[in-house]
Structure formats: structure tokens, C-alpha cells
């Protein structure tokens, strides 16, 4: 998309911590999903599709970006939206943007019935003369792994280029892990460049075992997934984490959302200050975006 925005964040214990500011990407309010959605829309168009179909709850960055970039591309967009515990009636900046961009929202229950909803939505679009493209592949969410990870394979190549040009080389790359496509893209990309830097992922939603099974769809390489900041599941936070994110805001003028990037960065900070990853130069990939970060301000302020 453009030159990567990498700069030093802080010194923690004996580590130098740098940050890749994907939150500053100029399209669709930034974040890693902006790069991924561009790849998805490109692939959809190459296959003759005119309607994008996504899946995600009211906080979903992917759904927001997909709605925004589909509208920009002149494509229709449908979002299949499951409710997480406690958010059935929750409206967020992301969900408002989805609505404002004209995307159709189809509610569903989270669980094994999702695949039938996907099939129904795809069938309805086709019956109306549309050519739908489901971003995760088939109705079981399989088959589109290469497209989903492609953007961050390119980013890994860009990081290697940045290292060569700056003379600053990283001992570890760290990123939040949700679906796993960004993590796998980075790992695959580094290895394709013969760069064996460790890539550590902090899962923000699922236990490590479940995460590893999902990751196997995206990469055959050994992965390093930590659950040190999982806190029991998606959207779970603590006062300690919120105070840490407030400190990041006031000391470094960077806003991290508490759901994804802020959760992973807090986990990284805890490990470093506890004595892990010492004497390393670490690159943290800030995959977050502005809308979700602003939603998190109330929790940080509270």
C-alpha cells in the first residue's frame, strides 16, 4: 500500500520495542483488515463477483472495512452478524459504519448453524441475479486461506526491506491473533524471504489449542501462540490492562484498542517485565484501527 510506518516505541527492561503502525493506513480507518479486504475485493472481481459477503459481530474490523471498500468499489455487501455474549443490542462505531455504507446485515446465532445461514444468503443473492463472494471461502469458512494471508506475506517482505535499508534488524515480531491470517501471512512471508525471525502471536479470543487448529489452515510452519493476555476470551479486559493502555496514550500518543492490539501489547509488556524475551529488539505490529480504539476509550477512562 505504501512505505511501512515503523518507529521505536519504548525501552522495556533490556528490550527495545518498535511498532509497525498499521493503524495509520490511509484507507477505511486503517488496521490490518484494510490490506486484507483489498486482496479479497481484488480476488472477488477477478472471479466476476459483484457482491461481497462477510461474517463478524458488531465489533468486527473486517466487517467495517469490507462495507467501506465494497461501497467504494461499487459492489454490494452483506454482513452475517452473530451475537457474542452480552452484545446482542450493542452498537459500536464499526457497526454504525457498516450501516452507513449501505451493507445489509443478516443476524444469526453463533454456532454450527452459521454455515446454513451463509448458504442461504449466497443462494438469495444468486437468485436475485447477483454473483456473491464469501470472504472465508465455502460455507464452512474454508478455501480462501491464501487470499486472506497474502497481504501480510507482502508486509513481511516490506519489513525485511525496511530492516536492510535502516540497518535495524528485529529479534522478534509480535502480533495479536484472531482468525490467524495476519499472523500466518507474516510467518509465511518471512520464511519465503529466508528470514527466520520468531513470530509470536497473542491470541485474543480462543484458547491456544483451538487457535493452533485454525492456524494449520493458513500455514504448515511451526507457530508460537501465547495466551498470556487472553483473560478468558474475546472482549475480556482488566483494570490493569486499561491502565496500561491509558499510559500508552499519555506517554506515547498512540491509541490502542483493548480488544485486539491493546490486549496483545499488554501481554507482551507483562512478559518482558517478568523476564522473558530479554535483550531483544522486538517489532510489535499494531493491527488496530481508529473506530474500535475510540470505542475502547470509555473503558480506558473508567
**Taking 70 as the threshold, does the pLDDT of residue 246 lie above it?**
yes
Mean of pLDDT values over 280-301: 92
Q: What is the pLDDT confidence band of residue 300, given thresholds at 50, 70 and 90?
A: confident
How is residue 82 written as a grid cell? 452473530
Note the pLDDT of residue 159: 98
What would the grid cell of residue 18 be?
518498535
Mean pLDDT of 192-213: 96
Length of the chain: 302
Chain mean pLDDT for the chain:
94
Q: In this structure, are residues 245 and 266 in contact, taking their beta carbons and an 8 Å threshold?
A: yes
* Complete domains list, the chain, with CATH: 6-31+145-301 (3.40.50.1100), 33-134 (3.40.50.1100)
Sheet of strand 172-177, all strands in order from the earlier edge strand to the far edge:
6-12, 15-21, 281-286, 172-177, 199-203, 224-226
Cα–Cα distance measured from residue 37 to residue 79, given in angstroms and rounded to the nearest whole number: 14
Residue in 242, 248, 259 with CA at minimum distance from that of residue 293: 259
154: left (phi over 0), alpha (psi -120 to 50) or beta: alpha
Q: Supply the pTM of this predicted model.
A: 0.95
pLDDT score of 253 more than 70 = yes
CA distance 207 to 87: 21
* pLDDT tens, residue by residue, 71-119: 999 999 999 999 765 565 688 999 999 999 999 999 998 888 899 999 9
Neighbours of 117 (CB within 10 A): 18
Summarised one tens digit per residue, pLDDT across range 132-178 is: 999 999 999 999 999 999 999 999 999 999 999 999 999 999 999 99
DSSP state of 190: H
Average pLDDT over residues 116-127: 97
pLDDT of 17-50, one tens digit each? 999 999 999 999 999 999 999 999 999 999 999 9
Question: Which residue, among 231, 234, 259, 233, has the nearest Cα to 245 in the 3D structure?
Answer: 259
Amino acid at each position: 500500500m505504501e512505505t511501512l510506518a515503523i518507529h521505536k516505541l519504548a525501552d522495556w527492561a533490556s528490550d527495545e520495542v518498535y511498532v509497525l503502525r498499521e493503524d495509520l493506513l490511509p484507507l477505511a480507518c486503517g488496521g490490518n483488515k484494510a490490506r486484507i479486504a483489498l486482496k479479497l475485493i481484488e480476488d472477488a472481481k477477478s472471479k466476476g463477483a459483484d457482491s461481497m459477503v462477510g461474517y463478524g459481530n458488531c465489533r468486527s474490523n473486517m466487517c467495517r472495512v469490507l462495507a467501506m471498500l465494497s461501497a467504494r468499489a461499487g459492489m454490494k455487501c452483506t454482513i452475517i452478524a452473530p451475537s457474542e455474549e452480552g452484545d446482542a443490542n450493542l452498537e459500536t462505531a464499526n457497526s454504525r459504519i457498516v450501516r452507513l455504507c449501505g451493507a445489509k446485515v443478516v443476524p444469526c446465532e453463533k454456532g454450527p448453524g452459521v454455515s446454513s445461514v451463509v448458504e442461504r444468503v449466497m443462494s438469495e443473492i444468486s437468485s436475485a441475479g447477483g454473483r456473491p463472494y464469501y470472504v472465508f471461502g465455502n460455507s464452512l469458512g474454508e478455501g480462501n486461506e491464501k487470499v486472506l494471508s497474502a497481504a501480510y506475506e507482502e508486509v513481511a517482505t516490506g519489513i525485511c526491506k525496511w530492516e536492510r535499508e535502516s540497518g535495524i534488524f528485529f529479534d522478534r515480531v509480535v502480533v495479536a491473533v484472531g482468525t490467524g491470517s495476519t499472523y500466518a501471512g507474516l510467518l509465511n512471508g518471512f520464511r519465503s524471504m529466508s528470514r527466520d525471525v520468531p513470530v509470536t502471536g497473542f491470541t485474543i479470543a480462543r484458547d491456544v489449542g483451538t487457535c493452533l487448529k485454525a492456524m494449520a489452515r493458513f500455514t504448515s510452519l511451526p507457530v508460537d501462540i501465547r495466551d498470556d493476555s487472553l483473560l478468558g476470551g474475546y472482549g475480556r479486559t482488566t483494570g490493569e490492562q486499561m491502565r496500561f493502555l491509558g499510559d500508552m496514550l499519555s506517554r506515547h500518543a498512540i491509541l490502542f484498542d483493548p480488544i485486539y492490539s491493546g490486549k496483545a501489547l499488554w501481554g507482551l509488556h507483562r512478559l518482558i517485565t517478568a523476564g522473558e524475551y530479554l535483550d531483544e529488539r522486538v517489532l510489535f505490529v499494531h493491527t488496530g484501527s481508529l473506530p474500535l480504539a475510540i470505542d475502547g476509550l470509555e473503558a480506558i477512562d473508567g
